Chain A
Amino acid sequence: MLELKGVTRHFGGVRAVDGLDLLVPEGCIFGLIGPNGSGKSTTVNLITGLFPLTAGTILFRGERLDDLPTHRRLQKGIARTFQNIRLFGRLTVWQNLWVAQNSPEDRARRSFFARWLGGRRRARDEIAHLLEFSGLAHKADEFAANLSFGEQRRLELARALAARPRLLLLDEPAAGMNSEEIGQLRERILALRARGITILLIEHVMELVMGVTDRIAVLNFGQKIAEGSPAEIQADPVVRKAYLGGGAT
Chain B
Amino acid sequence: MLDFLQAVSDGVLFGATYALIGIGFTLVFGVMHKINMAYAAASIGAAYSGLLLLEVMAGAPPAAVFACAFLAGGLLGWVVYLACFHFIPLSHPLATLMSTVGMLLLIDEVVVHATDGMPQNYPAMFDDVMLHAGEFTLRGDLLLVFGVCVAAMACLLALLYRTRLGLATRAVSQQPIAAQLCGIQVAQVNAITFVITGLLGGLAGAMIGASVGTLSPLLSGPLTVKGLVVTVIGGLGSIPGAIVAGLLVGGFENVFQLYRGVTERDLYVMLLLFAFLVFRPGGIFAPRGGRD
Contacts and interface: CB of A to CB of B under 8 A. Distances in A.
Interface in B156-188: 164, 167-168, 170-171, 174-175, 177-186
A100 B178 CA distance: 10
A55 B292 CA distance: 38
B178 A87 contact: yes
Interface in A71-121: 71, 74-75, 79-80, 82, 86-91, 95, 98-100, 102-103, 110
Contacts of A88: 170-171, 174-175, 178-179, 290
A70 B290 contact: no
B228 to A, nearest CB: 24
Contact of B167 (A75, A79, A89, A95): A95
A99 B185 CA distance: 11
Contact of B184 (A71, A86, A90, A95): A71
B110 to A, nearest CB: 35
A159 interface: yes
B175 A99 contact: no
A145 interface: yes
A48 interface: yes
A98 B174 contact: no
B93 interface: no
Interface string B179-221: 1111111100000000000000000000000000000000000
Contact of B289 (A86, A89, A159): A89
Given A145-B289, A145-B290, A102 B182 contact: yes
Nearest to B288: A90
Main secondary structure of the interface of A (DSSP, over half): loop
Given A71-B185, A74-B183, A99 B164 contact: yes
B183 A82 contact: no
Contacts of B167: 91, 95, 98-99
Scoring B170, B171, B181, B184 by chain A CB atoms within 10 A of each residue's CB, the highest score goes to B181
A99 B174 contact: no
A48 B181 contact: yes
Contacts of B291: 90
A68 interface: no
Contact of B180 (A70, A87, A99): A70
Contacts of A90: 170, 174, 288, 290-292
A14 B291 CA distance: 33
A80 B181 contact: yes
Query: What is the interface residue range for chain B against chain A?
Result: 20 to 34
Interface string A56-69: 00000000000000
A102 B185 CA distance: 10
Contact of A99 (B171, B177, B288, B290): B171
Contacts of A110: 164
A163 B182 contact: yes
A52 to B, nearest CB: 14
Contact of A98 (B164, B183, B290): B164
A194 interface: no
Contacts of A242: none
A50 interface: yes
A88 B180 CA distance: 12
Contacts of B185: 71
Contacts of B179: 88, 99
A71 B183 contact: yes
B42 to A, nearest CB: 28
Nearest to A89: B290
B183 A159 contact: no
A103 B284 CA distance: 40
A86 B288 CA distance: 16
A156 to B, nearest CB: 9
B178 A163 contact: no
A145 B170 CA distance: 14
Contact of B183 (A91, A95, A163): A163
A57 B242 CA distance: 48
B182 A100 contact: yes
B177 A86 contact: yes
A50 B186 CA distance: 13
Given A88-B170, A89-B289, A90-B170, A102 B175 contact: no
A163 to B, nearest CB: 6
Contacts of B180: 50, 70-71
9 contacts: A50-B177, A71-B184, A80-B181, A88-B174, A89-B175, A90-B290, A91-B171, A91-B174, A162-B182
The 7 closest A-B CB pairs, nearest first, are A102-B183, A89-B290, A86-B178, A74-B183, A100-B182, A88-B171, A70-B180
Given A90-B174, A163-B183, 19 more contacts: A50-B181, A70-B180, A70-B181, A71-B184, A74-B181, A86-B177, A87-B175, A88-B174, A90-B290, A90-B291, A91-B170, A91-B171, A91-B174, A100-B183, A102-B183, A102-B184, A110-B164, A159-B182, A162-B182
